[in-house]
Amino acid sequence: MPNHPRTLDLAAFPSRRGSVYVAVLVASTIVSVIGLSALSATRSQQRASQGEADFVEAKFYAQSAIDMGLFDMSADSGWRDNYPSGNWWVNQPIGAGKYTLNAIDPIDGSLSSGSSNDPVLMTGTGNKGRSTYLLQVTAQRQSGVMQVVAGTWKRVTLP
């Protein structure tokens, strides 16, 4: 047997120049599209989760606005004269958000006129991020103290 290097006859193979390059390019494009889709889905889920967390926090801020109003009513015997009908506090910072409290007399529209036993319709608004939550309750003097009327807590939708 002769001891010489083997030579490759290129004529025996059809011309396939660039076909491997095209296959690699197509495969890497598919992998890139799958990766970008997964990244986009993850970002969407993160935004949705953050929106839900903000909504829950906004609800607590709305509740806090009403609690602050009830506290001030119990601490100030002249609150009907000292607080106007309408907004008591607007965009007060709390935690990572803010709250607003609106209070009116649903009978005559004025807290300072009428009976000291007239009910007060309180609307607390909580804001956190892009979320807003409105909570409404009626309070009335019972046994000399302003208390929430049972069954009056309700969520208010934005107009």
Give the model confidence (pLDDT) of 14-42 as tens digits: 666 677 888 888 889 999 988 888 888 88
Give the model confidence (pLDDT) of 58-81 as tens digits: 999 999 999 999 999 988 888 888
pLDDT at 20: 81
Residue type, 47: R
In angstroms, the CA 139 to CA 67 distance is: 11
In angstroms, the CA 68 to CA 88 distance is: 10
pLDDT at 50: 78
In angstroms, the CA 136 to CA 157 distance is: 10
